[in-house]
Structure 1
Amino acid sequence: MLIYLKKTSWFTFVLTLLIALSACSTATNSASSGTGANNAAAGTSSAMADQQVLKYVTLNMPRSLDPTNVDAQRITSDGIAEPLVMLNDDATLRPWLAKSWKNVEPTLWEMELQPNVKFWSGAVMDAAAVKAALERHQKLNKRASSQIGGVEFIVKDALHIQFKTPKPDPAFIFKLTGFAIHNAAEADRLGDKFNKEADLTGFMKPTQFIPGELLIAEAVPTYWGTKPKLQRVEARLGSDGQGRLLAMKSGDTDADMNVEVEQRIAYEKDKKFNVLYPPGSTRNLWLNIKKVPAFQDPKVRLAISLALDRKELIDGVSRGFAEPVTGHFPKGLPYALDKGPESDRAKAAQLLEEAGWKAGADGVRTKDGQKLQFKLLTYSFFQPTAVALQSQLKAVGVNIEIAPVETTASNQLMLDGNFEMATYCSCGSVTGDIGGQLKSYYRSGIVSNYGGYSNPEVDKLIDQLSAEFDTNKQNELANQVQKIVLDETAIVYMYNSASWGSAYNNKVKGIDENLRTKIVPEMYISK
């Protein structure tokens, strides 16, 4: 169950952590010092380190440092783990551990790696190490099957690796952005201990780690790339948006990495803060078609979509920081639809009647002795939306019980399909891999197709799209897929909005405008 921290408990929480940090600053307790860092590294406290410390609060605290773990939140964003290629906010690619790449033939890619990269242990990160890391992702990372499943990794020499894809894939390199490179040999040696003692390549190395609560990392002096200007990062769990705002205003923290709508207004009014948002994406209501019999009826799914008052969700819940939805992708993109779902409560009620769901004395519809009621999985960011959905669906006889969970905990629940409805933040966005994104949401049997939607025609179109190199044909195929899944209500689209922007106090400089929520080596604290 997600715990919402009140104002007083937030400060108690921060104070408790500060006391704990003071007591443990030179300790090497493996239970909280996840990397096994030695006392010298953990106790570094030069004048520069005292000045160049970035403190931030977030909903997305990692529960693991192992990149294959679904709960390894933000470890790439914090500069701890690194992918071969970084995805910019504008959906372009940026070389990272990879120096360059090329498409040798339709099913073969070749990548040149950055030279002189080492893991924290001193082991060399070469093509063989990259191969081992990606093969470990294939084996353990539940999200890997839809991205790099079936790919063969071929070591050409120490700095060159080739990727043999099962089918032509013009957007293959985009798929590598989600898989951080790690020392697979060390992971195999340590087993479960690797969750706290990972061997990675980032410019920040954890010295204290309490899964889901606290992460302190210090600059790696031997980092292969641009020398980091920050000397330390201190990240703490902040479950409540108002609590994070108060911590920012009091100067207890330098950044809020999960700015919510209510707090966005306050941040933008205060000249002490710099608020940055990534491009908008489509907010979804997921329906578990595979496991909930009622959702297997297209009329019920469409009725739920029609019952939504999207204007209220935009103007009320989102305080105007949202736009009407057009379909899977935000409007204005060349591969987006021009027109999205309708809102018509009377039509919704009519469809439910036609589907055999009759209104009961308590207002909740029933059929064959079963009530039309569902549990709605949500977390704090979506809590206002969940409350609005509960009210809107009640108006057509659908009863919703809100089931809040901790943000990180929702990942495994969705992957396992342990939900009925969910306001889960897996949302259609600007992408350089149109086919890959549509595959992740709507292709039969894909793990991230959380609702279990399946349509052979859609599968065929997605496969064609994923192998298509011509941009115009890609857009045409993407439109065909989106029209079908919109008509069949594979997912209920709610609105388009930028989510979880970052608020920095004005002392934080060197922010990358194309990596707005990520910590980069160029960041520093001005005095």
Structure 2
Amino acid sequence: MGYVPRAAIAALVVACTGLMSAAFAADMAAADEQVLRLVTANMPRSLDPINIDAQRIINNGFAEPLVHASLDGASLIPALAKSWAMVEPTIWRIELQPNAKFWSGAAVDAAAVQASFERHQAKNTRAGSLLKGATFKAVGPTTLEIRTQAADPAFLFKTVTIGIHNAAKADELGDKYAMEADLSGYFKPTQFVPGELVVAQPFDGYWGEKPKLKRLEARFVVDPQTRYLALQSGEADMDANVQFEQRRSYIRSKKFQFPAVNQTNWNIWMNYRNPLLQDAKLREALSLGVDRKEIVDGVMAPFATYSTGHFPAGLPYAIKTRQASDVEKANVLLDQLGWKPGADGIRVKDGKRLEFSVLTYGWWQTVAIALEAQWRKIGVATKLQVVEPTASNQIMLDGAFDIATYCSCGAATGDLHGQLASFYRSDAVQNWQKYANPQVDALIDQLRTELEPEKRFELSRQIQDRVMQDHALLYVANSELIAIAQGVKVGGVDPERPRDITPSMFIKAE
């Protein structure tokens, strides 16, 4: 066998790398054209990661978590965490990127990350359940130790939405931090109009791969047709919220590309603070009154399939049971509950109409309109409350709704406990409807500490079966929707993070 000197191999690698870099550079437009224009229905109203309305600050590269989740939800990708290990069932050891800095120049060291997590625990309402009982301690300049109350082999998945930030600067600035946050992402805002506009440029002190884009312009455009027309005319490069009405138009055009995204399970939330919705039989009647065939094969066609429980069908921890649709049975149930049709067809009991408000927004509105007509067939009146997507977060948190088409949607995940707990555990903040079942709580707690994959899958299926029997949520459809549309000139999209603006993205040459 011939021997190739190591120096020759190194020279060959350098030569090949040079050729690849030259070819890559030739594919890129000029530097002054490296501007990505994003239109979206989700815009931040605050840059402070603890704020419920800090929308897309991780997606846009402003804030960083410890880790990202892969597209299929099954594995973790390094971000501010360079490496990690579960050294004991309740202890995680995290090694941070050694050269990471905040925009101010302050080090993103273990002490700063500890302070960031502790501020989330104290002030971030949504993170309270995710990080409950965990303690964070800097045990070295770039080494963070995390202790959990019980064994939790998937704990790090719970941190993928937790933006690390300079908590000391937040304490110093107070309310001004919402506009002047000190984060560590590869893009730094140069102009911020809350809820409307963010313009950002690369952060020169970023520890990792530098962005190829020289400028990001993200604008709030609530109307889906306006977003489509902006891409069609070349005034925008990316639509982050493609809706049913525009999907066919996007697909027919050769001007666009569609990164693969994972399926989600669309569901309807019912607020148990409303005494009527505490009745499982009434919830069952509402479920039976949903014509899922009309929604899946009509309204959402051809981008949806039928729901089977919390998770999209086909996953090893999904169940196969569908919620039934049966108008006749729904009417019988409501009759038995004492709700009788009034003169206008809406049911009445003890002088009170069977009527609910339905919170909805953007990409859910078409489905909500269909639901309004379907429920009227069983004598249930609804009043649509249409809001901007960002506004819906606080409304859900406040519990100021009866029924909501709110897409906190089930998806593939490596953290079965975290996702199921956030929906169905009685004390979870994001259990917006306040569903409670002691048997479900016990199964969720058992799932948290179970290490054997097959046993975890079985526990997940048991939880879904129990939730289905309670009609806790109404499952509408598994969506195969195109969540993202980009112009064909957009290159370098990370297949594991298709919804995000990443350093690898660039604008292609003509």
Taking structure 2 as the reference length, the TM-score comes to: 0.93
Residue 178 of structure 1 aligns to a residue whose secondary structure is coil
For residue 240 of structure 2, the aligned residue among 242, 257, 281 is 257
- Secondary structure at 2:241's aligned position in 1? strand
What is the distance in 2 between the residues matched to 1:200 and 1:51? 26
Task: For 1:234 and 1:87, locate their aligned partners in 2 and report how far apart those are by CA, in whole Å.
Answer: 25
Contact residue 48 and residue 231 of structure 1 kept, 8 A: no
1:487 maps to: 469
Instruction: Out of 440-449 and 495-504, give the one that drifted further.
Output: 495-504
Q: 1:401 — aligned with what?
A: 383
Query: Given that residues 258 and 482 in structure 2 are in contact (C-alpha distance below 8 angstroms), is that contact kept between their aligned partners in structure 1?
Result: no
Alpha-carbon contact 2:285-2:334 (below 8 Å) kept: yes
Deviation at 1:50, TM superposition (A): 2.4
Distance in structure 2 (CA, Å) of the matches to 1:264 and 1:185 = 45
Match of 1:421 in 2: 403
CA deviation profile, 1:420-448 (whole Å, cap 9, x unmatched): 00000101110101111110011012110
Residue 281 of structure 1 pairs with residue 264 of structure 2: yes
CA distance in 2, matches of 1:261, 1:357: 35
Instruction: Please tell me whether residue 122 in structure 1 is matched to residue 124 in structure 2.
Output: no
Number of the residue aligned with 2:96? 113
* Cα distance per residue 1:323-358 (max 9 Å; x no partner): 001001111111110122111111111111111111
Residues 69-102 of structure 1: CA deviation (Å, up to 9, x unaligned): 0100001001111001011221121011001111
Q: Map 1:225-244 onto structure 2 (within 5 A).
A: 225-244=208-227
Q: Deviations over 1:166-225 (max 9, x none)?
A: 111111010111101000000010011110100000110000000000000011122110
From 128, 135, 160, give the equivalent of 1:152: 135
What is the letter of the counterpart of residue 245 of structure 1? Answer: Y
Counterpart CA distance in 1 for 2:108 and 2:480 is 36
Which one of 181, 193, 196 corresponds to residue 198 of structure 1? 181
- Written as runs of structure 1 = structure 2, the 5 A alignment for 1:44-55 is 49-55=31-37
Cα deviation, residue 48, structure 1: 5.5
Deviation of 1:466 after TM superposition, in Å, equals: 1.0
* Residue from 57, 61, 72 that aligns with 2:39: 57
Deviations 1:43-78 (A, max 9, x none): xxxx95521110110000110000110100001001
Q: Distance in 1 between matches of 2:38 and 2:503?
A: 16
Aligned partner of 1:219: which letter?
P
1:440 aligns with 2:422: yes
- Tell me the distance in 1 between the aligned counterparts of 2:113 and 2:337: 53
* 1:84-133 Cα distance to aligned partner (Å, 9 max, x none): 10112211210110011111111111111111100010000000000000
Deviations 1:390-440 (Å, cap 9, x if unpaired)? 000000000010010111000011011111000001011101011111100
1:456 matched to 2:448? The reply is no
Number of the residue aligned with 1:358: 340
Secondary structure at the aligned position of 1:181 is classed as: coil
**Alignment correspondent of 1:139:** 122
Deviations 1:217-244 (A, max 9, x none): 0111221100110010001011111100
Distance (whole Å) between structure 1 residues aligned to residue 488 and residue 355 of structure 2:
48
Q: One-letter code of the match for 1:148?
A: L
Asked if 2 retains the 8 angstrom alpha-carbon contact of 1:107 and 1:165, the reply is yes
Distance 2:407 2:71 in 1: 16
Paired AA for residue 251 in structure 2: E
Is the 8 Å Cα contact of residues 327 and 337 (structure 1) preserved in structure 2?
A: yes
Give the counterpart letter for 1:423 in structure 2: T
The farther-off stretch of 381-390 and 257-266 is: 257-266
Give the one of 341, 344, 350 matched to 1:368: 350
- Give the counterpart of 2:413 among 407, 412, 431: 431
CA contact (8 A) 1:277 1:499 kept: no
- Tell me whether 1:98 sits opposite 2:95 in the alignment: no
Cα displacement string for residues 424-479 of structure 1 (whole angstroms, at most 9, x for unaligned residues):
01011101011111100110121100111101111001000011111111111111
Q: 1:395 to 1:424 in 2, by over 3 A?
A: same
Alignment match of 1:381 (pick from 363, 368, 377): 363
Matched, 1:162 2:152: no
How many residue pairs end up in the alignment? 480
Return the match for 1:71 from 46, 53, 72: 53
Are positions 1:210 and 2:200 aligned together? Answer: no
Q: Which of 224, 228, 231 pairs up with 2:207?
A: 224
Aligned to 1:43: none
Q: For structure 2, list consecutive stretches of 5 or more residues without a partner in the other structure.
A: 1-28
CA change 1:69–1:457 in 2 (3 A) is same
The equivalent residue for 2:315 is 333
Aligned-CA RMSD value:
1.1
Distance 1:500 1:450 in 2: 27
The Cα of 1:499 is off from its aligned counterpart by 4.8
CA distance in 2, matches of 1:520, 1:145: 28
For residues 87 and 431 of structure 2, the distance between their equivalents in structure 1, rounded to whole angstroms, comes to: 31
Any idea what SS the aligned residue of 2:136 has? strand
Aligned residues of 1:167 and 1:467 also touching (Cα < 8 A): yes
1:512 aligns with 2:499: no
Is 1:473 matched with 2:443? no
Question: How far apart in 1 are the matches of 2:488 and 2:458?
Answer: 45
- Which of 283, 294, 301 aligns to 1:312? It is 294
C-alpha separation between the residues in 2 aligned to 1:255 and 1:442?
Answer: 34
Correspondence list, 1:164-183, <5 A: 164-183=147-166
Alignment gaps of 5+ in structure 1: 1-46
Q: 2-side partners of 1:215 and 1:201: how far apart?
A: 16
Instruction: Tell whether the 8 Å contact from 2:289 to 2:327 is kept in structure 1 after alignment.
Output: yes
Q: Does structure 2 conserve the Cα–Cα contact (< 8 Å) formed by 1:285 and 1:422?
A: yes
2:407 matches 1:412:
no
User: Is the partner of 1:460 in helix, strand or coil?
Assistant: helix
1: CA distance between counterparts of 2:260 and 2:296?
Answer: 17
AA aligned to 1:515 is R
**Aligned mates of 1:500, 1:165 — CA distance in 2:** 37
Aligned-pair CA distance for 1:277: 4.1
1:82 aligned residue (64, 89, 102): 64
Equivalent-residue separation in structure 2 for 1:234 and 1:49 (angstroms): 15
Verify: 1:392 aligned to 2:374, yes or no.
yes
Distance, in Å, in 2 between the alignment partners of 1:378 and 1:486 is: 23
**Alpha carbons of structure 1 residues 467 and 166: separation in structure 2 relative to 1, 3 Å:** same
Secondary structure of the structure 1 residue equivalent to 2:32: helix
Give the conservation status (yes or no) of the 8 Å contact 1:257–1:500.
no
